[in-house]
Chain A
Amino acid sequence: TQLLEQSPQFLSIQEGENLTVYCNSSSVFSSLQWYRQEPGEGPVLLVTVVTGGEVKKLKRLTFQFGDARKDSSLHITAAQPGDTGLYLCAGARKGSARQLTFGSGTQLTVLP
């Protein structure tokens, strides 16, 4: 069982649609990050959220950290084919900040 569970595991949508990806855990995290990974490459950081209830926007992407700091969501508005990739959440638990744990990932495909 992974510490961070992401849903859905796969998502295929048409260009222009909106979507939300979820990252859930029973543990509390001091911070949570979202990464995007393209084929043949390592993950690249999108955002870090650190405060319970925090909302961050990055162009068409909106990230939210849960009030209890156990979960997070990523919402994409008007998805584009360039958004296609594997989205991974990653958390550093309170007291174990140096052990960076990743979620199971959501594979997003945006069709033109």
Chain B
Amino acid sequence: NAGVTQTPKFRVLKTGQSMTLLCAQDMNHEYMYWYRQDPGMGLRLIHYSVGEGTTAKGEVPDGYNVSRLKKQNFLLGLESAAPSQTSVYFCACLRAGQYTEAFFGQGTRLTVV
């Protein structure tokens, strides 16, 4: 019973490098989200998707891009990593409809040096 799986779990990048974080869900949920979590800031929404082939910006989208080519996968890309992007990244999925529950992955800890 995988639920939401994020890869990788840890990563260290040098400033200017690029990388892609993968989120995969086996729950057949329509909506998917990428958040970043920093101390004292809770979870801040980066981008989200309401269905295959669609994406939208959240609160803090700058420096990130996303793609949802398949319903079960939501990719978060960093084209040119900066130290300010050091954070813990969480992916979540949500079934369409009212008042549904968000299910989260275990997070990716990213350090940019």
Residues of A whose CB lies within 8 Å of any CB of B are 2, 4, 6, 9, 30-31, 33, 35, 40-45, 48, 50, 88, 90, 97-105
Contact = CB atoms under 8 A, between A and B. Distances in A.
B92 to A, nearest CB: 7
B106 A102 contact: no
A31 B98 CA distance: 9
* Contact residues of B: prevailing secondary structure: strand
Nearest to A31: B99
| For the complex of A and B, 8 pairs with smallest distance between CB atoms | A42-B104, A102-B43, A105-B42, A104-B42, A45-B101, A102-B42, A48-B99, A31-B99
Q: Is the interface on chain B under 10, 10 to 19, 20 to 34, or 35 or more residues?
A: 20 to 34
Contact of B40 (A4, A9, A97, A98): A9
A29 to B, nearest CB: 11
A9 to B, nearest CB: 6
Contacts of A50: 98-99
B43 A40 contact: no
B104 A97 contact: no
- Classify the interface of chain A: helix, strand, loop or mixed: strand
A6 B40 CA distance: 10
Contact of A88 (B42, B50, B59): B42
A88 B43 CA distance: 9
B74 interface: no
Nearest to B51: A98
Interface string B62-102: 00000000000000000000000000001010100011011
Given A41-B106, A42-B105, A42-B107, A97 B98 contact: yes
